[in-house]
Amino acid sequence: MSSYNAPFEIHVHGQVQLRADAGFDQIQEALKPLWTYAGARSLADGAASAYEEEPGIKFDAQEHLLQMCWTVRGDEDFRQSLDEMCMSLNELAEQGAAIEVTFYDTDFDEEDEGQSTESRDDFVMLFVGPTPAAIMQVQRDLLVQDVVNMMERHFDGAELGGVVTEIDKLFSKRFDALVNSLEIGKPPRGSGGSGSGHGGGGGRRPRHLH
């Protein structure tokens, strides 16, 4: 499909702190679903955004930081590329991070008064991280920020401690449910199995979740 006929302009925005041992070749492979979707043959070739004013995909080797402000023209099938990218970035991430993806409907005209036309714009928030706990930590922090920002229009920030505590309780329940689900199917301790102890990433409880 020609990019000129693509129904969406898709903007990917976010930054991911990577492990210190993550090299360029690993990053290029992790981001392959993006640059191949753009029709490029390498990350260097596909890192430029469809818009010159956007920095595109940048890797700061000194800070071990992957930064994305990158637009590509495409269709709904780009969501599969995003899923593949997130799975690969999980392996390279040092900590949890959020990636914002916006689908802009290129066919929608705000001045068109036809009743049958509706914008297909969409917004997706994706999360990557080395463990489920790291991902939940980012989700928790973003939710607290959104809720506090909204409620500070009506209440002093010092009054919102109880609200934050309740949010933490919700995430604690979700984390515990995840850990319990990962325990299912594991051989009992001392059963004589090979027992490497891998639980699928339950790991340490996220900060603030008491």
Integer Cα distance of 69 and 11 in angstroms: 7
Length of the chain: 210
Delimit the domains of the chain by residue range.
3-111+118-129, 136-183
Q: For residue 54, is it left (φ>0), alpha (ψ between -120 and 50) or beta?
A: beta
Q: In what order do the strands lie in the sheet with 97-105?
A: 56-60, 65-74, 8-17, 97-105, 122-128
Token pair for residue 97?
Answer: 């991070």
pLDDT for the residue numbered 209: 53
Q: pLDDT at position 182, please? A: 65
- Tens digit of each residue's pLDDT (9 = 90 or more) over 128-154: 999 988 999 999 888 888 888 888 889
Q: What is the pLDDT of residue 94?
A: 97
Q: CA 85, 59, 16, 48: dihedral to nearest 10 degrees?
A: -60
pLDDT attached to residue 157: 82
Q: What is the pLDDT of residue 194?
A: 37
pTM: 0.76
- Positions of the chain with pLDDT lower than 70, given as ranges: 1-4, 109-117, 182-210
Counting beta carbons within 10 angstroms of the beta carbon of residue 19, is it exposed (0 to 12), middle (13 to 18) or buried (19 or more)?
Answer: middle
Q: Does domain 3-111+118-129 have CATH number 3.60.90?
A: yes
Please give the pLDDT value at position 89: 97
User: Which pLDDT value is given to residue 27?
Assistant: 98
